[in-house]
Amino acid sequence: MIGVASMPGKAVSADLYRGHFTNKYVAVTGAARGIGLAIARAFAESGATVCLIDRDDYVQFASDDLKADGLDVCALQADVTDEIQMVRLFEELGTSWGKLDVLVNNAGVIAISDLADTSVADFKRVLDVNTTAMFLGIREAAPLLRAAGGGSILNAASGQARQGFIYTPSYAASKFGVLGLTQSLAKELAMDKIRVNAYCPGIVATEMWEYNDREWGSRLGNYKPGELIAEWIDNIPLGRPASESDVSNLILFLASSAAEYITGQAVNIDGGMFMN
């Protein structure tokens, strides 16, 4: 049986970006675990000072683990959907750092359910976390990015920003919304030398995909655990799911000076699931 966590990619950030982000300040939401934590680690290993942001109190333990490795990080606990908390968070970063060079809007949730079982409250919750909170974070971070003389904003989209999947109307809507938000704000913030891009992962080897395999599998057929996701992986041209390091490597590139002429784009990181 093929497990989603059994085929990791190779982390290359330590080799390609060592020291590249020295004296840069980076904030990453949804950073307590999974992709967000991998992104935070990659930036810190590349010389940046990084703030891990998450509503989960585990974010402090994650930060402590990175500090134990000698990395320059801190943790702030906040609900990204709470306007008051987010205003205070970026005020605190402004007091501590005075500027911000990179914001990674990585926090996200997914809900898989039949249409009849999807309440308005459930639908709004997914949009609140995946899209509205992203707008809020960008709004509050923009003055700090301007203070740095420009910078980079990276927004978590999805393969579902390319094609909505069955039983996930709220998630698909939220991720299509991320693309519109990214394009609109890329045009507005370009005058401040702030680049805004989105990244679109496909199947990534994280805990979330265990949930996805179970919930989709129960609705799409009589799948045993792991069978549905194995079937989907078989259809990926590169033959494996993405690892967290695959995603963090893309993020480092998009935030780096090598990508200084790229803005308003949504970049697929899915092994060829969607080609456009």
Catalytic residues: 171
Overall residue count recorded for the chain in this entry: 276
Q: Give the Cα separation of 186 and 132 in Å (integer).
A: 16
Q: Give the Cα separation of 267 and 257 in Å (integer).
A: 17
First to last CA, the chain: 31
**Amino acid, res. 13:** S
Q: Give the Cα separation of 153 and 145 in Å (integer).
A: 9
Query: 153-162 burial string, b = 16+ CB within 10 Å, else e?
Result: bbbbbbbbbb
Q: Give the Cα separation of 32 and 40 in Å (integer).
A: 9
**Amino acid, res. 251:** I
Instruction: Determine the number of helices (DSSP H) and then strands (DSSP E) in the chain.
Output: 10, 7
Task: Give the residue from 139, 70, 59 showing the smallest Cα distance to 103.
Answer: 139
